[in-house]
Every structure is written in C-alpha cells, then in structure tokens.
A and B are shown apart, each in its own frame.
Chain A
Amino acid sequence: MSQAAAHAAPHAVEPAESPLTPESWGKLGMWIFLAGDAVGFGTLLAAYGGMRATSADWPNPGQQLGITLTALMTFLLICSSVTMVKALEWLGKGDRGKCKMFLFFTALGGAIFVSCQAYEWTHLIHRGLHIDGNPWGAALFGTTFFIITGFHGMHVTGGVIYLLSVIGVVSRRPDPAASYNVVEIVGLYWHFVDLVWIMVFTFMYLL
C-alpha cells in the first residue's frame, strides 16, 4: 500500500469527525442509544396509561404507594445530576481530583436511590403488592409498578457501575482532555436516567 493510500484508508471507512457531534462518535452513539431507550420507556408508560384508563378498579397510587420517600428519591436524583455536571465542569478546568470526587458523589447518589427503591419494594410487598395481584384493586397495578420502576432501577444500577468504571478511566489517563468525552457521555446517560424518573414519578405516583 502506498503511503498516500495508507493515510487515506481511515477516511475511506468513516470521516474523522461526526457531523452531528464533532467531539466524538461515541457521543452520537450514546444519543442514538438513549433515543431508542426512550422509546422503550415511552412504550411502557403509554401502555401503563392505556391499562389504567381501561380499568374500573385501579387503586389510587398516591394513597397506596406513598409519595414522601419517592419525592426524596426524586430530589436525590436531581442532586446527583448536579454533581454529574460539576464533575464535567471540573474536568474542563483540568482538575481530575475534583472530577473523580463529583463522579463518586453521583454514583453514591445512584446507589442510595436504588437502596431506597429496594426498601420501598420490600415495604410494598409486605403490604401485599405483588406482580400478579394486590389487595386494593386491579392486578395490573402491581405488574406495571414493578416492571416500570424495576426497569428504571436496573438503569440506575447500570449507571452506578458505569460511573465507577469511568472514575477508573479518569484515574488512568493523566491528561484531563483525554477523559473529557468519556465523562460527557456517561453524563448524558445519567441525566437521561434522571429525566425518565421525572416522568415515572409523575405518571406512576402523582397522577
């Protein structure tokens, strides 16, 4: 292969920069993944709305599920979104130490959120809410509750693992600029998890 051809080869496969996200192809990939994931959550919530609208004996979520703990969980996720953007901001300023500290706080917020969810599930199961029935009305109330909050909880759990692995990436790369895209991409995922919870909280607990 000639030297000119060797230089041209990578550009023949793909352009060096993504036209939509010049920072990295990974960022575009994350946005496309999140769009697909949002369709999944949107479908679940639309199905939930359809089932609830057709049910004659759907229990009152506010009374049966309680909103005090979930309101605190919502606040916790908002706080973790702030620590996430702070992590990116500090990395932009070249401070890897503060970036890692805020990434850790974000992961900690997610871990506390999942712990609260485990406590909530245990409490509700003890009160009789099961995936196939409950003492208060339509059986699908429990089915939809566990599937949607469980699907979201799995996302948070995955996000905590993802954040911890990104702390490792930031630690291994001495140049802060080399980790910027990685932290920005994990941030997109984390804020998406927060965004979805805002919708889940409203549709499943408040309405």
Chain B
Amino acid sequence: MAGEHKHPNYMAIFWLLAVLTAVELSVVFLPFGKMINGTLLCALAVGKAAVVAMYFMHLKFETRTLGLIAITPLAIATLLVFVILPDAFFVDHKTATVKPAAEAPAKH
C-alpha cells in the first residue's frame, strides 16, 4: 500500500514502555537524593518519549528533515529553560530576604 511503513514489533515496544514506567515509579522511592533521582527520572522520561516518537510515530523511518522539524520544539523548550534560569535566581535572591509570615509578632 502506498505510503505504508514497515511495522516494528509493537508488542516489544509496549513492554519496553511498561517496564520503563515501572522503573520510573521505583526510582521515586530510591534514597539517592533529589538531584540523582531527578536526573534519572528526566532521563527515563526523555527515553520513553524518544521510543514513542521513533517507533509509534515512525520517525525512525521518516526523512531527516522531518526529524529536524520534530526535534525543534525540544531545542526551543531547552533554550527557554536557560532564558528563565537567570530570572529564577534573581527571584530566589529576593524571596530569601523576606521574613516568613509565621515569624511576625502575634497581635494581642
């Protein structure tokens, strides 16, 4: 049939995604601290998203230019994080000097 791709083993991909989801859920309970757990979770999420895009969306079998169109939003979102970061540090600095409301003297 015109335009038909070759179909990968979808059940193998399903089980891969299911196992990666189970690994994600177990990572939440690992005692490695926020930084390591967060990095692991981000890596797993990106890996799962890549599997969906490559095999379910057939990006692996498409032209390279179409792949570039698909990857552009990721580049923009990453750029956006770096644009926001300086502002985040600035606001963090400001809020650090504000006394929490709980420390205010009680009214009698």
Contacts and interface: CB of A to CB of B under 8 A. Distances in A.
> Main secondary structure on chain A at its contact with chain B?
helix
A71 B62 CA distance: 31
Interface in A169-207: 176-177, 180-181, 184, 187-188, 191-192, 194-195, 198-199, 201-203, 206-207
Interface residues of B, number: 48
Interface stretch (A85-93, A115-123, A146-154): A85-93
Contact of B77 (A22, A45, A194): A45
A50 B85 CA distance: 7
Contacts of B10: 82, 85-86, 89
Interface in B37-72: 38, 41-42, 44-45, 48-49, 52-53, 56-57, 62-63, 65-66, 69-70, 72
Given A42-B76, A46-B77, A46-B84, A198 B49 contact: yes
Nearest to A40: B73
A89 B13 CA distance: 15
A49 B88 CA distance: 10
Interface of A: 20-24, 28, 31-32, 34-36, 38-39, 42-43, 45-47, 49-50, 53-54, 56, 62, 67, 71, 74-75, 78-79, 81-82, 84-86, 88-89, 92, 176-177, 180-181, 184, 187-188, 191-192, 194-195, 198-199, 201-203, 206-207
Given A34-B70, A42-B73, A92-B1, 11 more contacts: A45-B77, A46-B77, A46-B80, A49-B84, A79-B14, A82-B10, A85-B10, A88-B7, A199-B45, A199-B49, A203-B45
Interface of B: 1-4, 7, 10-11, 13-14, 17-18, 21, 24-25, 27-28, 38, 41-42, 44-45, 48-49, 52-53, 56-57, 62-63, 65-66, 69-70, 72-74, 76-77, 80-81, 84-85, 87-88, 91-92, 95-96
16 contacts: A20-B69, A28-B66, A31-B66, A35-B69, A38-B77, A49-B84, A53-B92, A54-B95, A67-B28, A82-B10, A85-B10, A92-B1, A177-B1, A177-B2, A180-B4, A194-B56
